[in-house]
């Protein structure tokens, strides 16, 4: 309980209307909320199956929303594949949400697994014809020009039916485009392998491919399964390097202003932190999930012949020991960074109180002279762990 109180105090400077979520994150973490939700799922499984069988659309969505409500609010689809019932949870383009929804999927009970599949991300449905307002369009009506990047493809798209919408209701035109892209390549494949997508008002003269050909193109270029059925695991192994702005003075060390290189599998979260934004962090916190980092001084490595290698080896060992002590149902480590003054270990905590206790114990065993926790938002404060 003491560590929870200290955690809450480290957020004393955040806006008043967000402080209750911080307290609830400590007192009722996501790990416990998932257990409550899965208990509800088991209790209502038969009723939900009956609603699906009877095509009771409103009833099944209402019941499933109530089942999920202790853990999160998610866009969802329900169905039956001929063998098992399916609950499809959509991250709506958020990488952080992929990890959240996948945690839920991985913690399904054995009883639920007998009848249910939980799937993260909308699945490919390339034959869909989408009708929004007065527009009905399908994937074969889009021409696409592709520019390959290192890890993703940027797209320029043209659809004659959307040209009037681009002038009159651009947001709807893009909404139609993104829905069809998700249905053509699969939501997770689209998130991972499609970068910028721009609608064009005029058709280019260069050769193009149809949107319906995009899955085969992505499969060939990025070596992914044909059909767009991707596992959430593609995001766990997808690390991006980053180099922040110019290092500032020593008086501000441990707030990441000293970082000169870092890696992460959840770049949007780092991007928001570096820019003083909190939208993703706030959504996570409201669900009992804490995004943050551990930091400790690099002074202990000053006399090492291979200082850089020693720092990285120690950070990796420390992270692994904390993970073993806390457990996979407590934390997911998203990356790390090296600064002039400090080393940083980034995480998403499913149970922040348990994680902070485990980390403090491990850090004492490693003889660290000073180590801290900091939330992944600039208006929080350092919490001294040892």
Structure tokens given for 323 = 């993970």
**pLDDT of 228 above 80:** no
Same structural domain, 98 and 192: no
pLDDT at 248: 55
Same structural domain, 240 and 310: yes
Same structural domain, 181 and 223: yes
Structural domains of the chain, count: 3
In a domain? residue 239: yes
Same structural domain, 54 and 161: no
Query: Mean pLDDT over residues 8-25, rounded?
Result: 95
The pLDDT confidence band at residue 193, using thresholds 50, 70 and 90, is very high
In a domain? residue 303: yes
Last residue of a domain, one of 120, 154, 178: 120
Instruction: Report the mean per-residue pLDDT for the chain.
Output: 93
The pLDDT confidence band at residue 174, using thresholds 50, 70 and 90, is very high
pLDDT at 46: 98
Same structural domain, 86 and 152: no
Q: In this structure, are residues 157 and 197 in contact, taking their beta carbons and an 8 Å threshold? A: yes
Task: Identify which has the larger pLDDT, 249 or 145.
Answer: 145
pLDDT in tens, 253-273: 688 988 999 999 999 999 999
pLDDT at 366: 92
**pLDDT of 229 above 80:** no
- What is the 3-state secondary structure of the chain? CHHHHHHHHCCCCCCHHHHHHHHHHHHCCHHHHHHHHHHHHHHHHHHHHHHHHCCCHHHHHHHHHHHHCCCCCCEEEEEECCCCEEEEEECCCCHHHHHHHHHHHHCCCHHHHCCEEEEECCCCCCCCEEEECCEEEEHHHCEEEEEECCCCEEEEEECHHHHHHHHHCHHHHHHHHHHHHHHHHCHHHHHHHEEEEEECCCCCCCCCEEHHHHHHHHHHHHCCCCCCCCCCHHHHCCCEEECCCCCCCHHHCCCCCCEEEEEECCHHHHHHHHCCCCHHHHHHHHCCCEEEEEEEECHHHCCCCCHHHHHHHHHHHHHHHHHHHHCCCCEEEEEEEEECCEEEEEEEECCHHHHHHHHHHHHHHCCCCCEEEEECCCCCCCEECC
In a domain? residue 76: yes
Same structural domain, 290 and 214: no
**pLDDT of 9 above 80:** yes
In a domain? residue 5: no
In a domain? residue 329: yes
Last residue of a domain, one of 228, 261, 276: 228
**pLDDT of 251 above 60:** no
pLDDT at 245: 59
Residue 104, domain extent = 28-120
Query: Mean pLDDT over residues 141-154, rounded?
Result: 92
In a domain? residue 18: no
**pLDDT of 369 above 70:** yes
Q: Which of 238-242, 244-248, 357-361 has the highest average model confidence (pLDDT)?
A: 357-361
**pTM (whole model) above 0.95:** no
In a domain? residue 250: yes
The pLDDT confidence band at residue 1, using thresholds 50, 70 and 90, is low
pLDDT at 241: 92
**pLDDT of 250 above 90:** no
Q: In this structure, are residues 155 and 198 in contact, taking their beta carbons and an 8 Å threshold? A: yes
Same structural domain, 304 and 262: yes
**pLDDT of 277 above 80:** yes
Same structural domain, 223 and 266: no
Same structural domain, 108 and 147: no
pLDDT at 334: 98
Last residue of a domain, one of 120, 139, 158: 120
pLDDT at 12: 95
In a domain? residue 176: yes
pLDDT at 226: 67
**pLDDT of 188 above 60:** yes
Same structural domain, 45 and 94: yes
Same structural domain, 337 and 273: yes
**pLDDT of 133 above 90:** no
pLDDT at 126: 81
pLDDT at 77: 94
pLDDT in tens, 107-126: 999 999 999 999 999 988 88
Task: Identify which has the larger pLDDT, 353 or 250.
Answer: 353
Query: Mean pLDDT over residues 295-317, rounded?
Result: 93
pLDDT at 252: 52
Same structural domain, 297 and 215: no
């Amino acid at each position: 309980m003491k560590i929870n109180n200290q955690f809450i105090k480290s957020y004393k400077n955040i806006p008043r209307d967000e402080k209750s979520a911080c307290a609830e994150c400590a007192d009722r973490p996501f790990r416990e909320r998932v257990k409550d939700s899965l208990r509800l799922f088991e209790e209502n499984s038969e009723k939900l199956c009956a609603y699906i069988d009877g095509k009771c659309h409103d009833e099944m969505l209402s019941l499933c929303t109530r089942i999920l409500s202790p853990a999160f609010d998610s866009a969802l689809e329900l169905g039956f594949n001929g063998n098992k019932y399916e609950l499809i949870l959509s991250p709506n383009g958020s990488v952080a949400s992929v990890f959240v929804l996948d945690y839920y999927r991985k913690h399904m009970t054995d009883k639920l697994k007998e009848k249910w599949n939980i799937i993260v991300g909308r699945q490919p449905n390339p034959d869909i014809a989408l009708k929004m307002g007065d527009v009905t369009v399908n994937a074969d009506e889009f021409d696409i020009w592709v520019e390959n990047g290192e890890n993703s493809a940027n797209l320029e798209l043209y659809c004659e039916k959307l040209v009037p919408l681009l002038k009159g209701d651009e947001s709807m035109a893009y909404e139609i485009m993104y829905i069809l892209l998700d249905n053509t390549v699969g939501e997770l494949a689209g998130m991972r392998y499609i970068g910028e997508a721009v609608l064009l008002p005029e058709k280019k003269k260069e050769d193009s491919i149809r949107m319906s050909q995009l899955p085969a193109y992505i499969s060939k270029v990025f070596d992914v399964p044909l059909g767009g059925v991707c596992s959430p695991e593609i995001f766990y192994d997808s690390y991006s390097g980053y180099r922040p702005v110019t290092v500032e003075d020593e008086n501000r060390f441990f707030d990441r202003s000293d970082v000169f290189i870092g890696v992460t599998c959840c770049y949007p979260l780092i991007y928001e932190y570096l820019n003083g934004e909190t939208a993703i962090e706030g959504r996570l916190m409201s669900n009992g999930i804490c995004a943050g980092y551990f930091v400790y001084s690099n002074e202990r490595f000053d006399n090492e012949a291979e200082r850089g290698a020693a720092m990285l080896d120690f950070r990796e060992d420390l992270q692994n020991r904390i993970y073993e002590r806390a457990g996979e149902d407590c934390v997911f480590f998203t990356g790390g960074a090296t600064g002039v003054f400090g080393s940083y270990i980034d995480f998403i905590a499913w149970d922040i109180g348990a994680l902070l206790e485990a980390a403090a114990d491990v850090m004492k065993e490693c003889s660290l002279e000073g180590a801290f926790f900091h939330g992944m938002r600039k208006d929080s404060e350092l919490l001294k762990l040892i």
